[in-house]
Each structure stands twice: as structure tokens, then as C-alpha cells.
Amino acid sequence: MSSYDLADKVVLITGGTGGLGRATAQRLLSRGAHVALVDVHPRTAELAAELSARGFGVTADVTDRAAMDAAAAAVVARFGRLDVAIANAGVMGAASSLRTMPAAAADTVLRVNVNGVLNTVGATIEEVIAHEGQIVLISSVFAFMNGMGAIPYAMSKASVEQLGRGLRIELADHGVSVLTAYFSLIQTDMVRNGVDADPRVLEIMAALPRPLHKRLQPTEAAEAIVRGMTRRSARVIRPRRWTALSVARGVMGPAGDARLLRDTATLASLAKLDISDASPITLQGVPS
């Protein structure tokens, strides 16, 4: 496909008031796009208006398909069209082994991160097709790395990856491109509160090779998304050093799992999760 000019395009972003959502909105506005934020935040409309006169906000829950249909309709009523849908909204529960994770916590992660993405796509797909636009899905490096300590989250991001692969083929004849973005940890409130504040998570992450510990700023991730959109790319991975692991996952994944099984420090860290209750899930926009 040819390059994609974002000027005057209408872009809907779920989870738009959070770190990555807001940063992406700002980058799109700088390219001349109109941006519609959809979020559970009660002040979504206000926050969108503060960004720009070309900003618009709707308070809606991505797990409610009727609410998403209404949000998409409101965006079309405001701008007259909808060109791009970015399914960014997501949640991450507290670190826990699956054995000790409350069923409600696992259900919430899957409901928001999988069903919420499906609802976003379903509510916007006809408008996107009508304008030969784009669908952008936010997956994660967790789609292809071991999800120990956060299995439902890793499952959800692998599901998003599969959704992107399938949609890319299904929508090709309609002139629609599908971009899947894979990020490692992004410096947002979600990561500060859910990762950095939990020493158990930091212990488990220590099992990763040091080059993979690099963090992203929201602006870096947002720029990668916007560049991918302008090129109609199939995927972007940041930091780029994760690309080799993605490409070689069939070999490196099993090899990495075998190494983890021999890593006594990692197994000891996981044992701590197995004997502690998971704290209540925090519903926050997840960057990746």
C-alpha cells in the first residue's frame, strides 16, 4: 500500500487519556489529524478538548459493545467520518501465579484486553472500510515471551497479535491496513505502580537479559505508532532489540523456558507469588 497522509484523518483512540493514548493523540494532532479519545475516565471530553480544538472525547467502557457502538457513532456525528481505530485500552492485574490469582482478576484482564479490543474493532470496522483506513492494535512483547507471573496478560497480548494477523488478510481487499505494535515496558503510571512498586515483579524481571531491560518513554512509543501508520506497516517493535527475539521465537522461546526452569533465583521469586494473595486489580490504561 502507498504511504498514508494523516492530515485531516479522524482517529479514534481507546484508553486515550492514559500515558500512551495521550502521547499518541498529541503526535497525531501534530500531523494534522482529528483525534477522538474514548475512555472510562469521566472527564474524557474535557481532557480531549484541552489537547486541541481538533480533539473530541467520549466516556465509554470498551467491554460494553453497545457503548462502543454509541461512541463510534458520536465520533462520526462530530467529524463526519472515521478513518482509523487504535485499540489501546487495557489493564494489567497485580503480579500473581495463576494458582493464587482471583478468578475475577483474570476475567477482568481478558475481558478488557481481548473483548474490549474486539468491541473496538467491531464498532469501527465499517467506517474504517468505507474510508480505506487503518486499524491499530497494541500488543506487547509479552505476546512472545514467557508470561510467568502475569499469564492472563500475556495470553491477552498473544490474542491481540493473532487478531492483527487475521484482520490484515481479511481486510486487504478492502484497502484497509492493520498495524500491530509490540512494546516492552513504557514509563507510565501503570508501570510505576504495577511493576516498579512491586519488588516481586522486579525480581522476576531480573531473569531477562540486561539488554532487554530498556524502558520506553510514552513519546517514543507514540512516535513508533504514528510512523508505522504513515507507512501502513504491518507491525512495529520497540525497543528494536526485541525484534530478534520475535523473529526467532520458535527457537529462542523454548530455549529461554528451559533456562528459566534451571534459574533458582527466578523460581524462588515465583514461589513468593504462589503463597501470596494477589492484590485487587487496578483498572488503568495499559501502554503495552
Phi, psi of 245 (to 5 degrees): -65, -40
Q: Give the largest Cα separation in the chain, rounded.
A: 58
The total number of residues written for the chain in this structure: 288
Beta bridge partner(s), residue 84: 11, 134
Pairing of strands 10-14, 84-87: parallel
CATH of the domain at 55: 3.40.50.720
> Does residue 287 lie within any of the structural domains?
no
> Does residue 233 lie within any of the structural domains?
yes
CA angle 51, 48, 235 (to 5 degrees): 85
Amino acid, res. 286: V
Amino acid, res. 68: M
C-alpha closest to that of 137 among 167, 181, 172 = 181
CA-CA distances (angstroms) from residue 214 to 142, 200, 217? 15, 19, 10
**Residue numbers annotated as active site:** 153
Q: Residue 146: give the domain boundaries.
A: 10-274
- The cell numbers describing 242, all together, are 526485541
Amino acid, res. 150: A
> Does residue 187 lie within any of the structural domains?
yes
> Does residue 242 lie within any of the structural domains?
yes
- The cell numbers describing 40, all together, are 472510562
As a whole number of angstroms, the distance between CA 139 and CA 136 comes to 10
The three-class DSSP label of residue 59 is strand
The three-class DSSP label of residue 102 is coil
How many domains in the chain?
A: 1
> Does residue 105 lie within any of the structural domains?
yes
pLDDT at residue 284 in the model: 36
> Does residue 4 lie within any of the structural domains?
no
Alpha helices in 181-237 (DSSP H): 189-191, 199-205, 218-230
* Secondary structure (DSSP) of 130-183: HTT-EEEEE--GGGTS--TT-HHHHHHHHHHHHHHHHHHHHTGGGT-EEEEEEE
pLDDT by 10s per residue, the chain, length 288: 679 999 999 999 999 998 999 999 999 999 999 999 999 999 999 999 999 999 999 999 999 999 999 999 999 999 999 999 999 999 887 888 899 999 999 999 999 999 999 999 999 999 999 999 999 999 999 999 888 888 999 999 999 999 999 999 999 999 999 999 999 888 666 666 666 667 777 777 777 777 667 778 999 999 999 999 999 999 999 999 889 889 888 887 788 878 888 888 888 888 887 776 555 444 334 333
Quick check: 216 and 184 in contact, CB under 8 A?
A: yes
> Does residue 49 lie within any of the structural domains?
yes
> Does residue 288 lie within any of the structural domains?
no
Q: Which pTM does this prediction carry?
A: 0.87
